[in-house]
Structure 1
Amino acid sequence: MPENKTETIKAETRTEFGKGAARRIRRDEKVPAVVYGAGNAPSHLTLPGHDVMMAIKNGGSNALLYLDIEGKEVLALTKQVQADPIKGFLEHIDFVEVKRGQKVTVDVPVHLTGEAKPDALVVTENTTISLEAEATHIPEYIELSIEGAEVGTLVQASELVLPEGATLLDDDEMLIVNVTHAPTAEELEEELEEAEAEAGIEREESDEDAEGDDAAAEGDSDSDSEDSDEE
């Protein structure tokens, strides 16, 4: 469970606001941002687009950055990232200023490793957990091995191995992983047919079924003809 690396990003104070100003900033391959916290007024900034995108990509959802604001270095924790849903470029970032040794509340993803038994289906009930940890010791993710897990295995939040100094804020009994029986192809087909029947969906006859019905009909016809000849 690696900790987030802290990178330094050079920031500029932003004086223009509104949608038009934000578009101009993004056209210059920069990102508008704001830093809250530490009892100070919010700082509105402009950040270099590529540098901050790589820092957040490497640091994850809780990326911790040093922001160099006109010579003053501020330790900032990423709280919200807005990105274009189609093109993917960053539209705006919210940070909160933190201090070394300060405890913060964060949501950290759970990463599964290994393979369960062949007849097992691993269902992830919760993909993240809420932790309290020092701002400079936030894990990028929590690792959970499911190697060899058998049907019936349940993993609760309290069973996760947390880094030193981190405290679980979620319910100890919150279910993370539920290992169930992997359905066979026949079981899946039966479930599909039941669902279609409940929805009133009638399947169209396949070519193979139609050919089979035709062959059966021809067989019945030949049999009737032979019986007629015998009479």
Structure 2
Amino acid sequence: MTRILVFQHLAVEHPGSFRDFWAERGLERTTVELDAGEPIPQLEEFDMLAVMGGPMDVWEEDQHPWLVPEKAAIRRWVAELRRPYLGVCLGHQLLAVALGGEARLMARPEVGLAPVELTDAGREDPLFAGLPDRIETFQWHGVEVTRLPEGGVALAGNAACTVQAMRVGPHAYGMQFHSEIVDETVSDWRRIPEYWASLIKALGEDGAEGLDGLVSPRLPTFRETARRLDGNFAKIVAGSRTGSGQPEPSSPGQADQVRA
């Protein structure tokens, strides 16, 4: 049985629809709420690490001191244990900085619906198998990855954010966008002060008020995208146990090819 460890940074920013897919397959999930002071368990007990989003920024270690051991755990998971990693939004940014990359504030937050385009590497990557080259996504972030870590490859991007998805090494992945959202996501997140501020900055009062109505009809499509990504990642997890079916790490020079 695959044992999944989940790092959360906010109770309402959970794995969303991924939880349903994991439950359907009978997978074991352990959630650690880092912002509530819960300790990180022994990493060796788990097969997959999923790191979710949150309103804090990756460099805010003074305000959120648990970011220090979290980054160390991510670095050990990916660089030493070399086990499958799936990061979403903040989890995507943490993957980059924990491995030596960089993330910075954007000139303007990206919030709402936005298409992303797969790169040449993304079209060949097993995570995006069966998905179109252009994917409609839901976004809610004000920070972006501006330099990939060594061994990092950009898999998707758009005009607002160059690195919308990446792979680091053979099976560590980050996605800036949210495919996992569910019915209550927008209403839950808009109650978070930092998220409300970025929502107003990005869309204005009218756009902020209308976001839920804009997103709701697209939830079935997002769910199917999430199901495809989850199924593809399940194959990556299975392949990591045998060493088969995984993309090769990129050369170090590729890490410097994507900059915002």
Report if TM-score (shorter chain) is over 0.5.
no
Please report the TM-score for the alignment, with normalisation by the length of structure 2.
0.21
Based on CA coordinates, which of the two structures has the bigger radius of gyration?
1
- Structure number with higher helix proportion: 2
Please report the TM-score for the alignment, with normalisation by the length of structure 1.
0.23
- Structure number with higher strand proportion: 1
| Higher relative contact order structure (alpha carbons within 8 Å, sequence separation ≥ 6) | 2
